[in-house]
Chains A and B, each alone.
Chain A
Amino acid sequence: MSKDNQILEEFTSKEYEHGWSVNYEADEAPIGLNEDIIRWISAKKEEPQWLLDWRLKAFKAWLDMKEPEWANVTYPKIDLQALRYYSAPKQSKKPKNLDEIDPELLQIYERLGISLNEQKRLQGIAVDAVLDSVSVGTTFKETLSKLGIVFCSFSEAVQEHPELIKKYLGSVVPMTDNYYAALNSAVFSDGSFCYIPSGVRCPMELSTYFRINAANTGQFERTLIVAEDDSYVSYLEGCTAPQRDENQLHAAVVEIYAAKNAEVKYSTVQNWFPGDKNGKGGIYNFVTKRGICAGDNSKISWTQVETGSAVTWKYPSCILKGDNSVGEFYSVAVTNNYQQADTGTKMIHIGKNTKSRIVSKGISAGHSQNSYRGQVQVMKRATNARNFSQCDSLLMGSKCGAHTFPYIDIQNSSAMVEHEATTSKIGEDQLFYCNQRGISSEDAVALIVNGYAKEVLNQLPMEFAVEAQKLLALTLEGSVG
């Protein structure tokens, strides 16, 4: 037992790898939140009048909304007036391509292991890097544009493709959807926009990398992915933040629109700073993610590996509107120390023969709380809807908690819905079996956890799967239950 404790100790004292911060000159909005700030952000980004009006409308709606309290998380109230809503690295002029980007900014991303320069040479992933409030650079733009694919920062898209933004912005997550989505709609600063035209299969993975650097800043980015008929795209999202004592807010909105026969695969490895081992600091991650399978035979697949953030509140959802459309949700959520995660999905079956699959694996250690909250809804006219949900929890240590809140609402007699959940710890017999064969307890735990999460990790694109496996090992190594 003493050895177990020692290993546990080692593991809990493990530092957050991306905890550094860089001082760069920043262009910042004054602290606080009011209409003037929104006008300031909008002016800064040289936005058209309709977008400003849209923001202000969202802000008005937000003023009447209350912070949601139903989630199984507790945290001190955030003083939204004490936050800065815009912070951007100062650049003398807008970079036209990567060569013009401030080398200091590129270095930040080098340190994160995402070399924007290298991306230029190596075939692989196109990256849109977002630092605090703005996108600092997008790689592979030209290659993609030859196929008609638009992949750029949100602000750029507002300037260059206003008709697309106007058509799809807020079409999946309405501005008044919830408290944080409304706040995001009012103050969002940047994000990524991706448009795949009809019949195009995106030849590479598209990726956004988010980093919060400045102190006391909220990051509110907005991602919009539109996949036209018969198109395909795989999209990755990653994120880190410096280690700071105070809590920072991240309230993003991701919208996915999939037309007829389109397929969108969205993968996230979330590694925001989770707070130190006493639960101090860390990111509040309140994110609204939703996709709509608008056309027949379309498919949206969410995969997430959640290891960071002090508090996570995130439910990537699918509205299965088109007939024969498919929604998938694969999730591994790891919480340690004083982290709290309330995450899950919503599958709303509207079209005929729609299918959804939910696989959620929760792992809790330390004093953390890990909740799965999901909903499967089968509407009246969704004939032959099919759902399978599985949510398993693994507990390590006796001070953590694992909770499951599945809602299953069925209004159609031809629906087939299955839900199963289990909660357990790593079995002594499993450990013993491994020990017996000469595998140390520590390796055995890694082996078992990896096997436990494999179903989800398998869904990740190769580049991400490596990072995710590393993160899992880092977070759980040696935590013999």
Chain B
Amino acid sequence: MATAIITDILETLLKSSNTTSFPAIREKAKTLALEKGLPEIKEEEYKFTAIQRKLEKSITDFSTAKNISLTTAHIQDALPEGYEGDFLVFNNGRVDLELSKLSKQGYEATLLSSSASDLFGTIAKNEKDVFTAINTSGFEDGIHIQVKKNQKVEKPIHLLFFNQTNEGQVIPTRVLIEIEENAEASFLENSISLDETPYFFNQVVEVKAAQNSKSHYAKLQNESRQAVSVSNFETNIYRDAVFSHTVISLNGDMVRNNLSLNLLDSGVEGNMYGLYLLNGKTHVDNHTNVDHTKPNSDSNELYKGILADSSRGVFNGKIFVRQDAQKTNAFQQNNNILLSEDATINTKPQLEIWADDVKCSHGCTTGQLDEEALFYLQARGIAKDQAKGLLLFAFAGEILEHISDEPFKNHITNLVKERLGSNI
């Protein structure tokens, strides 16, 4: 069953895409994808996310979505107010360099097909997730961003994905980010649905954070109620580097984020923050994975969820501490608030520890707002609804604080405020 569907998907996808670059890697990925098939809900990794059924139902045509006509007006609308940094425009997954603004100060951005980097396909492993394999074999062209050695890129680089298909098609897209030694940079991402037609957004981002580098990636998911989105974000982090990732999920039909931080050397600091603020029937599944392989590295993880209506949140956080990774500090926390009787949360904070001299902890809570805090505010003349909104905003605020770019942060804060106002 599963293999029949994947054959169908890949054939339609490959027939409609121009995939001349990386022939050997793509061929291998294709074979692998065919072998693996789409994940069924019987599989542990996709237990709570019936992605196969969702794709069958909402995607009518598995061909690659064609280009849409984008204008600067679209971009002005999408950029946060007062944003000053560079931006990179993706038109249905394909890079549009003409509409992008790239100062290239301290960094280089080239099409993947022309950079032909050796790094491509070595960080995000096709074996790990079948959607990476589908992406590798079927994406047309992507971007390779190289932040140069010892350079500090002052302003963030904003990746804007504009998505629109006519009848539920596939939008594969690929990003490779290389942060060289001692370099510093930050990235922002936003996916924008131009209308309400369903599509399947299939993203793979590979990041190499070299020795002593500092980088941050912040991502907003506020797509249409019909969008199905699977993102694989894989990072290799080297000695004394700091890498942080923040994801804010507000909208979509079914969203699955696979985020992996591979701590490949000592002195690394890896941070992961997430907020899922859901209503309607939105289903958001965050799978994170931290792999401590060498001694003296730290990782922090904090994911928070507020679930209203019949939305569903899934959190699965894995921390691996390998035998060599002595003196590891790993912290993980997942807090959830359910606002409605029909909302569901499935959470699985998981620790796998093979070294003895480590400090690892995880915590997970699901509950409601603190009655006493509510009462305190009410006693001071704040209406109940407003008090609830305040408390929920404070709960969410802890994640928003980790976004460093002010305009982007304000943009998201406004969206969060708007959502909390309408729901209570």
Contact = CB atoms under 8 A, between A and B. Distances in A.
A328 B359 CA distance: 27
Nearest to B337: A413
Nearest to B44: A70
B341 interface: yes
B373 to A, nearest CB: 14
B349 A415 contact: no
B347 A408 contact: yes
Interface in A385-438: 393, 395-425
A389 to B, nearest CB: 8
B326 interface: yes
Most chain A C-beta atoms within 10 Å of own C-beta, residue among B323, B340, B353 = B353
Interface stretch (B171-179, B360-368, B395-403): B360-368
B357 A406 contact: no
A422 B361 contact: yes
B339 interface: yes
Contact of B353 (A397, A399, A401, A420): A401
B248 interface: no
B367 A425 contact: no
A481 interface: yes
B358 interface: yes
A413 B339 CA distance: 6
Contacts of B359: 422-424
Given A412-B341, A416-B367, A420-B362, A406 B348 contact: yes
A410 B338 contact: yes
B351 interface: yes
Interface string A151-165: 000000000000000
Contact of B341 (A380, A399, A423): A380
Given A398-B326, A416-B367, A408 B358 contact: no
- Chain A contact residues: helix, strand, loop or mixed: strand
A424 B358 contact: yes
B350 interface: yes
A425 B356 contact: yes
B346 A413 contact: no
A405 B344 contact: no
A408 B348 contact: yes
A425 B345 contact: no
Contact of B368 (A70, A413, A419): A413
Nearest to A415: B366
A404 B345 CA distance: 19
B376 interface: no
Interface residues of A, number: 35
A409 B313 CA distance: 10
Contacts of B349: 404, 406, 419, 421
A421 B365 CA distance: 12
A399 B366 CA distance: 35
Nearest to B330: A423
Instruction: Report the contact-size class of chain B (Cβ under 8 Å from the partner).
Output: 20 to 34
A404 B350 contact: yes
Given A402-B351, A404-B350, A414-B368, A409 B357 contact: no
- Chain B contact residues: helix, strand, loop or mixed: strand
A420 B341 contact: no
B375 interface: no
Nearest to B341: A413
A410 B307 CA distance: 11
B346 A417 contact: no
Contacts of B363: 418-421
A423 B323 contact: no
A422 B360 contact: yes
B186 interface: no
B95 interface: no
A404 B364 CA distance: 13
B348 A417 contact: no
Interface in A358-383: 380
Interface string B316-360: 000000010010000000001011110111111111111111111
Given A419-B365, A481-B356, A410 B344 contact: yes
B276 to A, nearest CB: 14
Nearest to B354: A401
A396 B356 contact: yes
Contacts of B341: 380, 412-413
A460 to B, nearest CB: 27
A415 B367 contact: yes
B366 A408 contact: yes
Interface string B127-163: 0000000000000000000000000000000000000
Contacts of B358: 395, 423-425
Nearest to A402: B353
Contacts of B44: 70
A420 B350 CA distance: 11
B352 A420 contact: no
Given A418-B364, A419-B364, A393 B353 contact: yes
A415 B346 CA distance: 13
B69 to A, nearest CB: 44
Contacts of A402: 351, 353
Given A393-B353, A413-B341, A413-B368, A404 B347 contact: no
A393 B360 CA distance: 10
Nearest to A400: B356
B338 A412 contact: yes
Contacts of B351: 393, 402-404, 421, 423
A421 B348 CA distance: 12
B363 to A, nearest CB: 4
Given A70-B44, A396-B356, A398-B323, A410 B366 contact: yes
B154 to A, nearest CB: 40
Contacts of A417: 364-367
A407 B348 contact: yes
Contact of A421 (B339, B356, B361): B361
Contacts of A380: 341
Given A404-B362, A413-B340, A423 B346 contact: no
Contacts of B355: 395, 398
Given A410-B338, A412-B338, A398 B344 contact: no
Contact of A409 (B340, B345, B354, B361): B345
A401 B352 contact: yes
A405 B346 CA distance: 13
A355 B137 CA distance: 50
Interface string B41-74: 0001000000000000000000000000000000
B367 to A, nearest CB: 4
30 contacts: A70-B44, A393-B353, A395-B355, A398-B356, A399-B323, A400-B354, A400-B356, A401-B352, A401-B353, A402-B351, A403-B351, A410-B338, A410-B344, A411-B344, A416-B366, A416-B367, A416-B368, A417-B365, A417-B366, A418-B364, A418-B366, A419-B364, A421-B349, A421-B362, A423-B351, A423-B353, A423-B359, A423-B360, A481-B356, A481-B357
Given A393-B351, A481-B357, 14 more contacts: A401-B354, A406-B349, A407-B346, A410-B344, A413-B341, A414-B368, A415-B366, A416-B367, A419-B349, A419-B363, A421-B361, A423-B360, A424-B358, A424-B359
